[in-house]
Chain A
């Protein structure tokens, strides 16, 4: 079949990056358009792929390529997509394109547009190059059908992301970048050992063949060891509690596009590995480790939510919320049921869209207020920047899992899977996980609503210092009495002093949503609504693949 499409998805950004090295001077004036063009072509290929995908056979790899790569080691260059990887490939192409659109749309002078023509030290050409290499690695990871090829792409991603954080990041970018790369490299080494163990025992690196043999030829002990090793590497990337501490630092310091791609795509590579390699190739290992995986997952859900509740920094809060959301994904995998894994894959995509949007918004807020410290933002955003406040409300509500938006279905199915886990798993334990996960969902709602209240509600004058504090808000005369009586929720969970805004720039003069932001956000909003209102779109794609993948489970 037409394997050129798979190859093209990887080679187009790669060639685009190489061309930047070769024809640097020619491309320098048109960098902003160039990035959009290359990632746009890749997105176009992804759209062709989505359009021509044979949905009747979603369980079978399509657009496959299989050529000898390193014959001496019997390594093969195998690419292909099935119902599990197709949404992720499309999501990656879309998010990368949106990042380039965000950076380059319009005159390029808006807040957050790092490619602006003359910004001292912004190094626009290097940024485009880095992002394109990043795209190669991300798409390759989701396309690879060979264990070592998967690992190679998995590792390629680390380097550009390291530079993205270390060069274009915030004040403490160096430490965050080093932490990121050392932590994830350490995880990758452990994963490589696991992959090599699989290779040694099963004698092949072909993921499809390995998945079809369902762990034949590997004893239970070997499977458990391999699952733990591979799982650890993937869990660092996901990230799973307690291996998550690189994430808040990396997110806080990364530039907006870095945060978006980190949350939207990189975290998915970890969870994708569970669905593609760990569970189908090592079914007995998965069954043995699943209760532990589930336990760590629900701890992550509650722990992430609690950490968010007390968090002051908006970007850190969203980073911790990723820990919680990824907990739902891991819980879905741990159930080892089609429902649970469907839910995990759905939550994966939904998280990419919603958290991508949230990081775009956090970046936009930070660019305007020059801080992401929630108390320092001063509240009242719905009055000062009504559109930005409205989109933030939308994204927060989507993220807390409201039915009708994308965030709900994945978490619901993960919990439903935990209600009736695979027969080899202890049901009582997973019922406990389900209950804890459900309470985590309430806590998730709690921290998002508290954040909205502190950022978007309230009288905006209190922050800028233009009006005396304590002016009763509108509505106070008629209905405010009730409001005062209802003050049973304590104010802010943090009593540290609020720092004044640097330069007292304040709300006046800040622009509401700009065009380049609108271009980047509207597709995400649309997809969140689409998948929320019609979850069948994704579920019909993943279900057949998941059922094949679980074929061997006891």
Chain B
């Protein structure tokens, strides 16, 4: 049992290694099948181990009460010269819960991908990268040492980069992948420095030691450490101001969006705050910053989602918004509510993405303006998507209803204390407004995809490597089964942990969600072909462009850096190397000058000699 966390990490890691090494052997047909087996079986094994690890602890983290002792072992220590790195893997109640989420979603996605990328020649490397990602995420979840966690944290980023760029023939995808990696890496530098601060402050990188040392640390140390960590959280979890990479990351295959960019990796930032929650609660200013970030992010992203035409971008902005909800819950002081929402969101957002994949698979396009009336063609997808959107809006009895309720209760509680008054008020106000906007954009996406007149147009033969268009009514079974299975937790997970309901808050939130939905419905009803986003009026274009943040960063960061780079190259040639070449030329010039004296004229030599003697004589007379 103590080695289970290690085994859970190693299984998908071995799958990744095997998948990459074997991917180019044999014929393409057989290679994909073999790769599928290599991918699915270890992931299933990891899922079994993760469930086993979580069995005894169950939902202990969410229910409070006595916390069971963590299961795990230390596999040695790496000396560094000062604070050592301890190779510890362990599963406590929080890790065990997330381990189950990660492995089950990964398993669903692996199975789903078999159908989604059936004819893709690069499926073997794709599935190997998904396995590598699973291993890295499990390393983050089970790590007992901050630097071990950081290793997994960065490898996740690498897998995200590789998978966003899966269709690298299109340079746009390649660029989106670079953007995702660089923006998150910028945050990760801060994250690493935060780890340094905590490690020096506590004299150890072990999470248990760090948390035990929190009471002894000065508040300055804690605020600095948590603010730096927050940079990494903002990068990974796509929070303001580092959120811009996530919508672009939708360039990757849809199953990847479900796994990495909705359910698991982007939730890692929330997880790390919950993991180090005592350190964060002891740093009041950090919590205020987090609250403001969350408030701006949840409302802004929801508004952006309302104006997007691309179905996947709607879901991407929705993910930013929902992650901000979790961050808000953390800022309000409730790590259990945030983790509860993380788990339910993982289920329903993965479900929504997989359904979107089925829709895109069927239509052959991402844009909702090319969809419509699909509920007859895709009955299973329609039912599953409806469950997903209901959970996203927080309608009872879906899982999202309970978790969102818990978050809103926590944020309401923060009004009484915990946060600065202004921050708490902003957070709660934005949260309530976002409930309404969420209802609006979910309804809009649901109506425009599945209702109204069909708008599907005949498509040309797709390029090889495309999510290929098939003419059956629904997707293949490998895609439908994971969707159907994910719909169950998305609907019922709220009942698993003992639901605590606060009736007034629940009534208000459901009423707000229905209000948003109702407004959109009325607008849609008036003209089913027109986009209900027209309700936004003058705000529509700014919302569609996500308030021009991308353009701002491009003008303020990207272009100046590139200009600076060109300047450096020129300086290097002209000034730095110019000095070197100049000294060479100067030496040659000087030698040319001296050479004039060596002209072979004996008279000149003799005159020089005499002049020298004269000078010495004069000098001797004068100074003697």
Contacts and interface: CB of A to CB of B under 8 A. Distances in A.
B213 interface: no
A310 B565 contact: yes
- B contact face: mostly helix, strand, loop, or mixed: helix
Given A479-B253, A483-B172, A307 B568 contact: yes
Contact of B566 (A310, A412, A434): A310
B251 A482 contact: yes
A99 to B, nearest CB: 26
B189 A441 contact: yes
A475 interface: yes
B464 interface: yes
Interface string A367-391: 0000000000001101100110000
A488 B551 contact: yes
Contacts of A438: 189-190, 192-193
A446 interface: yes
Interface in B156-188: 158, 161, 165-179, 181-182, 185-186
B312 A486 contact: no
A478 B360 contact: yes
Contacts of B584: 182
Nearest to A479: B251
Contact of A445 (B155, B181, B313): B181
A480 B78 CA distance: 45
B169 A337 contact: no
A311 B569 CA distance: 7
Given A404-B155, A449-B161, A453-B171, A416 B80 contact: yes
A474 B174 contact: no
A220 B562 CA distance: 44
B80 A245 contact: no
A475 B465 contact: yes
B82 A403 contact: no
B154 interface: yes
Interface string A421-440: 00000000000001100110
B470 to A, nearest CB: 13
Contact of A473 (B170, B176, B558, B565): B170
Contact of A403 (B151, B200, B254): B151
A456 B168 contact: yes
Interface in A253-269: none
A539 B193 contact: no
A274 to B, nearest CB: 16
Nearest to B17: A529
A320 to B, nearest CB: 8
Contact of A488 (B196, B251, B462, B554): B554
A482 B466 contact: no
Given A442-B189, A476-B170, A307 B572 contact: yes
Given A483-B173, A539-B78, A245 B572 contact: yes
A120 interface: no
Given A449-B182, A546-B81, A419 B168 contact: no
B176 A486 contact: yes
Given A380-B169, A382-B168, A473-B169, A489 B466 contact: no
Contacts of B602: none
Interface in A441-470: 441-443, 445-446, 449-450, 453, 456-459
B99 interface: no
A342 B81 contact: yes
Given A483-B170, A543-B81, A310 B467 contact: no
B168 A458 contact: yes
Contact of B462 (A179, A442, A478, A493): A478
B400 interface: no
Interface string A303-343: 10011111100000000000000000000000001111111
A339 B82 contact: yes
Contacts, number: 257
Nearest to A441: B189
A342 B80 contact: yes
A443 B557 CA distance: 12
Given A442-B189, A488-B554, A482 B463 contact: no
Interface residues of A, number: 83
Contact of A539 (B80, B189, B312): B80
Given A242-B576, A536-B76, A478 B467 contact: yes
Interface in B423-460: 459-460
Nearest to A474: B465
A402 B154 contact: yes
B150 A403 contact: yes
Nearest to A542: B81
B189 A439 contact: yes
Contacts of A387: 24
B594 interface: no
B84 to A, nearest CB: 9
A489 B251 contact: no
Contacts of A412: 147, 192
A481 B175 contact: no
Residue among B158, B172, B312, B576 facing the most chain A CB atoms (10 A cut-off): B172
Residue among A242, A439, A457, A535 facing the most chain B CB atoms (10 A cut-off): A457
Contacts of B175: 453, 483, 486-489
B67 interface: no
Contacts of B550: 488
Contact of B158 (A402, A446, A490): A402
B365 A474 contact: no
A453 B569 contact: no
Contacts of B459: 477
Contacts of A540: 78-79
Contacts of B576: 242, 244-245
B193 A434 contact: yes
A389 B399 CA distance: 45
Contacts of B580: 179, 183, 245-246
B144 interface: no
A489 B193 contact: no
Interface string A282-312: 0000000000000000000001001111110
Contacts of B254: 479
Contacts of B171: 379, 453, 457-458, 473, 483
Given A337-B81, A339-B80, A474 B169 contact: yes
A546 B80 CA distance: 11
A482 B248 contact: yes
Contacts of A458: 168-169, 171, 174
Contact of B365 (A338, A343, A434, A477): A477
Nearest to A316: B569
Contacts of A182: 584
A472 B562 contact: no
B80 A310 contact: no
Interface in A34-65: none
A522 to B, nearest CB: 12
Nearest to A480: B170
Given A397-B158, A479-B467, A474 B167 contact: yes
Given A306-B569, A453-B174, A489-B554, 6 more contacts: A303-B572, A341-B81, A412-B192, A446-B182, A453-B171, A478-B364
13 contacts: A310-B566, A310-B569, A435-B193, A442-B182, A473-B171, A476-B167, A477-B365, A480-B167, A483-B251, A485-B313, A489-B179, A540-B78, A540-B79
Ranked 3 nearest A-B pairs via Cβ: A483-B172, A475-B167, A473-B169
Interface of B: 24, 76-82, 85, 147, 150-151, 153-155, 158, 161, 165-179, 181-182, 185-186, 189-190, 192-193, 196-197, 200, 247-248, 250-254, 310, 312-313, 360, 364-367, 459-460, 462-467, 550-551, 553-554, 558-559, 561-562, 564-566, 568-569, 572, 576-577, 580, 584
